[in-house]
């Protein structure tokens, strides 16, 4: 239930309608703005700057200037600021979660979960800041020492999507800052406030001007400036494979370090020997969380012949109980999709499945609640030639494909250019090891549908990207190794 009005959120200083550059809250040079709407009601919640090349360049310059001092701070100083940032988020969880639901639409309980997860990532990297250790390697020369130190890469450009507007950035901003880097953030145009929030948090915990900068506006212009600038040494991107490849290409001339967390087309395999209750519960959460708008949501369910009909029946029963509602309503389990384009894609996938022999067991159409709401949907008799088999639907549709033996299930799961997350359900220990190894993805959930936490390396293979976020590995993305050879000792 909503506890704060929009005016209260703005009045408390959390929701900023300006960009944060060099420690100042500023407008676009030409004064251009754009409106941001609540996806559930399509009512305007704020108006923010629409910036382009010149403002981005200033943000990059500010980050470069700030890098000189920030990179020379001690790990303890950086850790302290990040610990305080995590605490600030936790202390204001309720109001910040409301801001998230307001701009993104997800149920308030999920928004709180995302805010907590974001605070966890920030804390995790505050802790990692103090473990950026070097190495001394046994020297092949009698009179020399070989040292290896880890240094911050420099100015970082971060571009993020709208589905997890706060936590996606936490696993980029926190390791960057922990490593001693400075950063220019470009959040999604649909959910800018949780991105601008990093400016608010940085200011409140006393992070020096220019260390964190946030710009909002014309994606292509900002992206071009970030990728082509020789000052920016690293791009970290989460979003579509199409834009990821574009940014990868644009970064080639300046030879940047890159992290790309791109699209997924996650399979979930239900084997005949699965615990079906467990599978149904996890499949429901793993599929319908955030209305199916996560890059690790199951897009394709492969269900073995022996349990296909039973799984379809139980999943349908469970899905019919999901409460579709405005994210602020008590007990809401599925909110709106982000906008009408997202609804159009879901409708296209359903229509395509129907023309190719798919049967809709429940849902299949827009929800009566409003233009951006869609009914939780289960489709059986899914086939490999359907759009849903190849493209990320990013919506609340569970499509069930049938398979006969283990190898067929694995081959079908791997028959995609993506490789982010995979899931499977079985009680056979030998099969757990076999299938875990055979699946071509960066992450595997075994008898689990939710696998994200700050302790683990999150990331994909194939067209799902490069690099890992979170875990002890996540900070390496923001560090360069330097080898020092000390002679004449
Ligand atoms: P999604 O489908 O998840 O929104 P996108 O890849 O379209 O994925 O968007 C992710 C982020 O990439 C957003 O912040 C968006 O503004 C940004 N973006 C989109 N096009 C470009 C571009 N040409 N250059 C840089 N960033 C872009």
pLDDT per position as a tens digit, 389-425: 999 999 999 999 999 999 999 999 999 999 999 999 9
Provide the edge-to-edge strand list for the sheet that holds 145-152: 135-137, 145-152, 479-486
Q: Residue 1 has what pLDDT?
A: 76
Residue 275 has pLDDT above 80, yes or no: yes
The residue whose CA is least distant from atom 2 of ligand 1 is 240
Q: Residue 379 has what pLDDT?
A: 98
Q: Residue 235 has what pLDDT?
A: 98
Residue 13 has pLDDT above 80, yes or no: yes
Q: Residue 268 has what pLDDT?
A: 98
Average pLDDT, the chain: 97
- Known active-site residue 295: yes
Q: Residue 348 has what pLDDT?
A: 97
Strands 135-137, 145-152: parallel, antiparallel or unpaired by DSSP? Answer: antiparallel
Q: Residue 174 has what pLDDT?
A: 98
Q: What is the pLDDT of residues 437-450, one digit of tens each?
A: 999 999 999 999 99
CA distances from 358 to 144, 316, 349, 352, 381 (A): 70, 15, 11, 9, 5
322, 287 Cβ separation under 8 angstroms: no
* CA 52 to centroid of ligand 1, rounded, Å: 14
Helix axes 108-128, 93-104, angle to 10 degrees: 120
Query: Binning pLDDT at 50, 70 and 90, where does residue 181 land?
Result: very high
**Burial level of 418, CB count in 10 A (0-12/13-18/19+)?**
buried
Stretch 335-347: mean pLDDT: 96
Stretch 145-152: mean pLDDT: 98
The residue whose CA is least distant from atom 14 of ligand 1 is 188
Q: For residue 49, give both structure tokens.
A: 């700057």
Q: What is the pLDDT of residues 222-242, one digit of tens each?
A: 999 999 999 999 999 999 999
* Entry pTM: 0.97
| Annotated catalytic residue within 261, 375, 392, 476 | 261
Stretch 117-121: mean pLDDT: 98
Q: What is the pLDDT of residues 354-390, one digit of tens each?
A: 999 999 999 999 999 999 999 999 999 999 999 999 9
Stretch 326-332: mean pLDDT: 96
| Annotated catalytic residue within 295, 375, 392, 406 | 295
Q: Residue 449 has what pLDDT?
A: 93
Query: Binning pLDDT at 50, 70 and 90, where does residue 467 land?
Result: very high
**Burial level of 63, CB count in 10 A (0-12/13-18/19+)?**
buried
* CA 243 to centroid of ligand 1, rounded, Å: 6
User: Ligand 1 — pocket residues by CB below 6 A?
Assistant: 159-162, 186, 188-189, 219-220, 223, 239-240, 243, 246-247
How far apart CA 288 and CA 367 sit, in angstroms, is 15
160, 195 Cβ separation under 8 angstroms: yes
């Amino acid at each position: 239930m909503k506890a704060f009005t929009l005016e209260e959120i703005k009045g408390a200083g959390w929701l900023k309608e300006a960009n944060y550059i060099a420690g100042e809250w500023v407008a676009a040079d030409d004064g251009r703005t754009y409106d941001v709407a609540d996806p559930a009601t399509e009512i305007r919640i704020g108006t923010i700057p629409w910036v382009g090349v010149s403002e981005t360049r200033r943000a990059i310059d500010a980050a470069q200037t700030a890098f000189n001092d920030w990179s020379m701070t001690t790990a303890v100083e950086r850790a302290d600021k990040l610990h305080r940032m995590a605490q600030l988020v936790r202390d204001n969880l309720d109001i910040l979660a409301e801001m998230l639901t307001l701009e993104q639409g997800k149920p308030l309980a999920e928004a709180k979960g995302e805010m907590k997860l974001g605070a966890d990532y920030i804390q995790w990297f505050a802790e990692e800041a103090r473990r950026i250790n070097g190495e001394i390697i046994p020297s092949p020369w009698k009179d020399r020492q070989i040292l290896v130190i880890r240094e911050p890469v420099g100015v970082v450009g971060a571009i993020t999507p709208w589905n997890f507007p706060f936590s996606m950035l936490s696993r980029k901003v926190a390791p960057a800052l922990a490593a001693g880097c400075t950063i220019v953030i470009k959040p999604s145009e649909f959910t800018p406030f949780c991105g601008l929030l990093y400016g608010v948090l940085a200011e409140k915990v006393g992070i020096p001007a220019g260390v964190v900068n946030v710009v909002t506006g014309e994606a292509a212009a900002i992206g071009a400036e970030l990728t082509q600038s020789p000052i920016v040494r690293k791009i970290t991107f989460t979003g579509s494979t199409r834009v990821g490849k574009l940014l990868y290409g644009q970064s080639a001339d300046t030879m940047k370090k890159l992290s790309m967390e791109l699209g997924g087309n996650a399979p979930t395999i239900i084997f005949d020997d699965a615990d079906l209750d467990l599978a149904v519960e996890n499949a429901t959460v793993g599929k319908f969380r955030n209305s199916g708008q996560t890059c690790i949501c199951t897009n394709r369910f492969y269900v073995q012949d022996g349990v296909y009909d039973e799984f379809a029946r139980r999943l349908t029963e469970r899905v019919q109980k999901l409460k579709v509602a405005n994210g602020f309503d008590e007990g809401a389990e599925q909110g709106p999709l982000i906008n009408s384009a997202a609804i159009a894609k879901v409708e296209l996938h359903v229509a395509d499945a129907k023309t190719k022999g798919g049967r809709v067991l429940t849902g299949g159409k827009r929800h009566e609640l409003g233009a951006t709401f869609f009914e939780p949907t289960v489709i059986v008799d899914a086939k490999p030639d359907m759009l849903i088999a190849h493209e990320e639907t990013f919506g609340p549709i569970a499509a069930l494909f049938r398979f006969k033996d283990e190898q067929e299930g694995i081959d079908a799961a791997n028959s995609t250019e993506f490789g982010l997350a995979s899931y499977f359900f079985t009680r056979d220990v030998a099969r757990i090891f076999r299938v875990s190894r055979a699946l071509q993805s960066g992450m595997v959930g075994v008898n689990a549908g939710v696998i994200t936490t700050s302790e683990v390396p999150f990331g994909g293979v194939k067209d799902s990207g490069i690099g890992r976020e979170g875990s002890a590995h996540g900070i390496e993305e923001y560090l360069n190794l330097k080898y020092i050879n000390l002679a004449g000792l």
